[in-house]
Structure 1
Amino acid sequence: MAVMKRKNPTKIRFGIMIWAWAALSVGMASCSDFFDPSQDLIQEREDHYNSLEDVRRGLTGAYAGLQKVVDNVVVMGGLRADLMTVTGNYDPFLEQVENHGMSPDNPYASPKYFYDIILNCNDVLENIEKSKADPKMTDEVADAYRAELRTLRAWTYLQLAQTYKEVPVIKEALNGHFGDYEPERYNKVKMLNWLITEMEWISEQEQLDWREFDNKKVELWTPYEVVFINRKALLGELYLASGNFEKAATTFYDCIINDGDGKDDPKLKCSSLTGGIFWDDTWQRVEDGTVGMEHLSVIPFDNRKHQTHGLMSLFSNATQHKYLIKPTEVAVNKWQGQRGHNFNFDVYRGLNKSYAVVSDDTLVNKYMIGKSIYESDAVYPIYRAADLHLLYAEATNRAGNPAEALGVINTQLKGSPETAGIRGRVSLKSVEMDDLRLRYPNAGSEMELVEMALLEERALEFAFEGKRWNDLVRFAERAGRPAWLADRIAAKYATDPSKREEARKMLMDVSKWKIDMPTLK
C-alpha cells in the first residue's frame, strides 16, 4: 500500500476535486458500449458495487478516461521530438512544449486526466469484494476484473513515469476523504520494479472476454475486441525499460506468435499487405472495421456518439480548425529518402498517408486518412503489431542478436513464415549491415548499428503517434549517448543555426529530459 501521510495544505493536495471526478466517472459507460457518454448511468456512491454489473460498469468507466489523455500523449510524445513542430499559428502552451519549458499550468503537461483513470481503477478495485454478494462474481471472475483494472492502472503509471522525474503513487481509493495527503513518490527504477511485479501477477490471471461487454453477444469483429490493454505487450515494454532484454524479447515474441486468434492469426504477424489491403487501411474509422488489422489495443472515438479529441484542431488547416502543429522537414525527408523495389520513396507510409500537403500546408494526415476533413472517430493505437515486432527486435538486439533484429526490420521474424517484415510488408528494400556502417561510421558495434536502424524505422512507422520522444530517450539513455537525442532534435531547426545550437546544448543535459510533476489540485 502507498505511504500516505498528512501534510501541509500548501503542498500537493489530493482532495475534493479529484475524488468527485472519480466518483462520477465510474459509471460513464454501459456494458454494451464502452465509450458512450450519453448513457445516464451515474449512481450514488452507496449504490455502487453490489453486483458484477456494477464492477463491469466501473471497469468500462475507467477505460473511458483514456479518451481524455490522447491529446497529451500525442503532443508531449511528439512535439518535444524531431518529427513535429509548431506552425505560425501561435499557441503559447504548444511552444512551451516544443521548447522544453512547460509552465505549471500547461494543459499538455498536466497529469490530471491520468490520475482520473488511476483513481477510478482504485475505487473499483477496493470495492470488488463488496460485489461478491452477487453469486456471479466468483473468486475467479473477481481476479479477472482486478487484473484488467490493474493493467490499465499500470499502463497509466508508465506514461507518467516517462514524463515526470518523480511520480506520486496512489494504490488505494481515497474513499471521499477530503484531506491533504502526501503519496509516496516513485522514481523510474522504483516504478518499473513495482509495475513489473504487478504485471507478472496479472499475467497469471484469466482474461475477460470482450463479448461479455456487448449485450448482443455479436460474433463479428468490433473495435471493443482491442480496447483492453494487451498484458504481454505492456509487460514486455516494462522489461525492456528495466533492461531485462531477454525477458522482454521472450514476452514480445510470445505475444506476436500466440496472442490474437492464435498462431495462424495474420493480425500480429505483419504479413505482406496484399489483395487490396494497404498500410493506411489500419487508420480508417472505427465503423469501417479495418482498424483491427494490426491492432492489439486502441482507444476508439465515434463522432456519432459525440466522442472527440483535439487532434483535428491541432493538425487540420480546414476553416473550422486551428492548424497548430505540422510535420517537420526532417520527418518528410525520412519517407522521401526511402527506396522501394519499384519506387524511390516510401509510398505506403509517406505522402498522403502519414502526412499530406493541402493548400501548400504540410499536414499530419495519419488521423484523417480517407476523409475529406478531420473527423473525430479516428482510433488512437496503444499497441499494434509493428510496435511489437520492432520492440522485439530492440530487445533481441540488446540481448546479443543484431542479425536477427535486422531480419525483423527487413523481411522475417524467426519461426513465423507469415511475416513479411516491417519494411517488406510495405515493399521497401532491406537495410543491410554494410549500408549501416557507411551511414553511421561512429557506431561502435553491430548492436549500435541496428539501434540506429530501429530508431529510423520507428520514425517511419510511428510518426505522430506520440512515441518518438520516449523512443529517443530510451535509446539515448541506454547507450549513454545523449547526442543520439540532442542531435536529432536539433536537426529540425536547420534553418535557424542559433536555435539549433541552443536546443542541442540544452538537450545534451539529461536532467532536462523529464519534468517536475506540477501541483495537483
Structure 2
Amino acid sequence: MKRIIISALAAILVLPSCKKLLDVQPESVLSREQAYRNVYDADAAVLGVYGKFMSLAKPYVLLNELRADLMSPTVNADRFLQQLNDHTATDDNPYIDPTPFYQVILNCNDVMVNFDKMLADKKLKVDEYNQRYADVATIRSWVYLQLGIHFSKDPQGTVGIPYITNPLTTIADVKNDSNYRYLPFQQLLGELIKTMEKLPTKEMYSSNTTLITNVDQYRTDKFFVNKKVLLGDLYLWNAAYDPSSYRKAATMYRQILSYYDDKGSDLTQKNYWKLIGAPDPSTGNQLAVQYVRYRENDINSLYESNTEGWRSMFSRGKVNYDQQFDWEWIWVLPFSSNFSPQNPFIDLFSNINGSYLVKPSQVAVDNWNSQKQVNLFPFDARGKFTYKSINGQPVIMKYLYYYMDGNSFIPSINANARSGEWWLYRAASVWQHFGEAANRDGYPKLGYAITNYGIKTTYTPPSPPTDVTNIMQTFLPAPYDFDARNGDNPQYRAIWRDMNGFRGRASLQARTIVGSDSTTQVENMLTDEGALELAYEGQRWSDLLRIAIRRNDPSFLADKIYAKLSKDNTAGADAARAKLLSKNWYLPFKWK
C-alpha cells in the first residue's frame, strides 16, 4: 500500500474531465476500468484529489493574506501582486484565476460519482466508501467556501459563483451556464452546510484505514481535511444570517478540541489541541514563548530552535512528526522535493534562492512590537519567530524553517531541496473561532479566557478559596462547559488545567475590558490575537470579512486595509478604503 500511495503522490492521478480545466495529457489518463477497481484504486483517487488540491496553496495564502492587512508586496512583486495588495485587481490578473479551484472541484465531482458506482458494484465496503466519499466531499466544500469568500460575478456579491456538483466532460459544458447555478455567498453557505450535514461520516480516518501510513518520512494522518472544523467554519460564517448557528459552530469545534479527552495517557488528554503552553520551561511544554533563563529575566535567552519554544511548531516536523507537533497541528500538507507539486513558498517568501515577492506589512511589525510581556520585555516574541531580518530585508519565516536554518539563514541541505509544509488547521485557529462563536453566543467571559490566560485563571476569583471544588471551571452549558481545576484541597487534576490562552502561551500581559460592551471588545481582542498568533497561515482576510459582514460595518475591514496601505506609503490607500467601504469586497469572476 505504501508503494501505491507514493506512486499516487509522485504522478498525481488525473481522472477524465474537462480538458481545459484539468489540463489533461492523454498519456496520464487512466480508463475508468483501470481507475476504480478496488479500495486501493479508491485511495489513489483520494490522493489524486489532494495532489490537485495542493496547487491551491499559493493562491490560498496570497488571497487571504496579501488582500488583508498583515502582508505587503516587496519591490520584486509584479503589478498583479500590487493589484491584490491595493484592491485594484483586473480580469487579466493571473492570481485571481478561479480555474485551479474548479480543477479540484471537477476532480472531486468525478471521484464522488465513481465512488457511488463502486459502492453499488460492491467494489467498496460501506465503511470504506463512507470515509473516502466524505473526505472528497469535504475538500470540495472547503474549496467552494474559499471561492465564495473571494469571488463573485458582481462587485457586491449578489450573483456569486458557479456551483457545480455534477461531473462535466467538455469545455462547452463548463461554459454553458444552464448546467449549474450561480450562488451568492449566503446561498452557497446553505448548500455547503446541507452537504456537510448529510455526510455519511464526519469522523477522521480510523487508524486501520489503508490511507493511514507513512510516506517519505511523513505520517499521512495529518494529510486529510478535518470535517468538523470545516463544518464549524461554515456555521460560523452562516451565523451572520442565522445567529443560532453560533452554537452549532461551537459544538463542532468543541468536538475536535475534546477529541482526546478520553484517549491515551493523561499527558495526551491534557495537551492534545488544548492551546497549552506556559512560559516556564520547567513545565516541560515546548509550544509556548519560553526563555532558557526565564526566572532570571534574561531577554537574550529566548528559546529559538527546531525543538523548543513557540517557533518549534513550524519546524519540529522537519524529520518526522513528533508528539508535541501532534498537540498543535490538525491539518498539514507536506511538499517534498521528490514529488509534484513543487513547494511555492520558498520562491514567494525567501530572499535566498527565492524571488522574495511578499513580506510582513509595517502594520504587522508594529503590532508585534507594541505588545508587552509579563516580564516587561517590550515585544511579542511570536513576531520574532514569524519573520526575520535577512540581509536587511524582513522575511516571512513560517514556511521557511524546513528550508533554511532559522538562525544562520543558510539553506538546510542545498538550494534544490525545497521541502516544506502548507499549514492549514491547528489548535490555535480552532480556538480562535471557537472563542468567536462563544462570545457571540452570549459568553464573552469564555472568549476573554481564550484570548488571555485560559479557563483556570479567568474563572478563579481574586481571592480564591482553599477548596477548589467550585472554581476554575465555567459552569456553562455544553459546548461551553470546561473544568480546569488543579488543586489539592481536595485534589483535582482536570483535563483543561493547562489550557493557557493565546496571551498566556505568548507570555504577554492580559488585555482588559473597558466599559460595558464586552462582546465587541472580546471580538476585537480575538481578531487582534489572531493577527499575532496566526499571521500568514491563510485566514486573515476571511476573519476580517466575516466580522465586517456580521456587524454590517464595512469600516471594520476597510480601516485595517487602509492602515496597512498608508503605513506602506501605497498611493492607492484612499481609493482602496473607499472601495471597501462600499462593500466592494469580491474579486471579478471570469473563466480564463
Deviation at 1:495, TM superposition (A): 5.9
Corresponding position of 2:309? 278
Cα deviation 1:363-407 (Å, max 9, x = unaligned):
111111362348632211221100111101000000111111010
Deviation at 1:229, TM superposition (A): 0.7
Of 197, 205, 208 in structure 1, the residue corresponding to residue 205 of structure 2 is: 208
Cα deviation 1:490-511 (Å, max 9, x = unaligned):
112236486433332222111x
Counterparts of 1:34 and 1:226 in 2: how far apart (Å)? 17
1:282 and 1:293 in contact (8 A); partners too = no
Q: How does 1:24-35 map to 2 (within 5 A)?
A: 30-32=4-6, 35=9
Q: How many correspondences in the alignment?
A: 480
Q: How does 1:353-502 map to 2 (within 5 A)?
A: 353-369=385-401, 371=404, 372-373=410-411, 376-413=418-455, 414-415=482-483, 416-434=496-514, 445-492=517-564, 493-494=566-567, 496=569, 499-502=572-575
Highest CA radius of gyration, 1 or 2? 2
Corresponding position of 2:356? 323
Cα deviation 1:94-118 (Å, max 9, x = unaligned):
0111121222232211112211111
Counterparts of 1:458 and 1:55 in 2: how far apart (Å)? 38
Counterparts of 2:398 and 2:261 in 1: how far apart (Å)? 24
Cα deviation 1:297-318 (Å, max 9, x = unaligned):
1221122436523222221112
Corresponding position of 1:181? 176
Matched, 1:105 2:131: no
Counterparts of 2:585 and 2:95 in 1: how far apart (Å)? 16
2:374 and 2:508 in contact (8 A); partners too = yes
* Identity value in percent: 29
Unaligned runs of 5+ in 1: 1-28, 438-443
1:286 and 1:301 in contact (8 A); partners too = no
Matched, 1:237 2:233: yes
- Cα 1:141–1:457 shift into 2, 3 Å: same
Unaligned runs of 5+ in 2: 14-26, 153-159, 240-244, 287-307, 405-409, 456-481, 484-495
Counterparts of 2:133 and 2:211 in 1: how far apart (Å)? 20
Amino acid at match of 2:396: V
Counterparts of 2:341 and 2:128 in 1: how far apart (Å)? 30
- Cα 1:497–1:155 shift into 2, 3 Å: closer
Cα deviation 1:342-367 (Å, max 9, x = unaligned):
2424454111x111101111111111
Of 288, 294, 301 in structure 1, the residue corresponding to residue 335 of structure 2 is: 301
- Cα 1:479–1:34 shift into 2, 3 Å: farther
Counterparts of 2:172 and 2:262 in 1: how far apart (Å)? 47
State the SS of the aligned residue for 2:454: coil
- Cα 1:297–1:485 shift into 2, 3 Å: same
Matched, 1:254 2:327: no
- Cα 1:201–1:130 shift into 2, 3 Å: closer
- Cα 1:56–1:350 shift into 2, 3 Å: same
- Cα 1:515–1:477 shift into 2, 3 Å: same
Counterparts of 2:196 and 2:368 in 1: how far apart (Å)? 37
Cα deviation 1:180-210 (Å, max 9, x = unaligned):
5222111111111111111112274564336
Deviation at 1:475, TM superposition (A): 1.1
Corresponding position of 1:60? 47
Deviation at 1:449, TM superposition (A): 0.7
RMSD: 2.8
Cα deviation 1:133-168 (Å, max 9, x = unaligned):
875612332222211111111111111111112111
Corresponding position of 2:577? 504
State the SS of the aligned residue for 1:168: strand
State the SS of the aligned residue for 1:453: helix
Q: How does 1:36-185 map to 2 (within 5 A)?
A: 36-37=10-11, 42-132=29-119, 137-165=124-152, 166-175=160-169, 179=173, 180-182=175-177, 183-185=180-182
Corresponding position of 2:321? 289
Counterparts of 1:63 and 1:162 in 2: how far apart (Å)? 21
Deviation at 1:130, TM superposition (A): 3.2
Counterparts of 1:220 and 1:420 in 2: how far apart (Å)? 34
Counterparts of 2:319 and 2:262 in 1: how far apart (Å)? 21
Amino acid at match of 1:325: V
2:6 and 2:215 in contact (8 A); partners too = no
- Cα 1:208–1:498 shift into 2, 3 Å: closer
Counterparts of 2:309 and 2:503 in 1: how far apart (Å)? 13
Deviation at 1:278, TM superposition (A): 1.7
- Cα 1:219–1:94 shift into 2, 3 Å: closer
Counterparts of 1:304 and 1:220 in 2: how far apart (Å)? 9
- Cα 1:292–1:76 shift into 2, 3 Å: same
- Cα 1:83–1:203 shift into 2, 3 Å: farther
1:390 and 1:454 in contact (8 A); partners too = yes
Of stretches 405-414 and 353-362 in structure 1, the one that deviates more from structure 2 is 405-414
Counterparts of 2:112 and 2:586 in 1: how far apart (Å)? 30
2:380 and 2:508 in contact (8 A); partners too = no
- Cα 1:220–1:55 shift into 2, 3 Å: closer
Counterparts of 1:260 and 1:145 in 2: how far apart (Å)? 26
Counterparts of 2:339 and 2:571 in 1: how far apart (Å)? 48
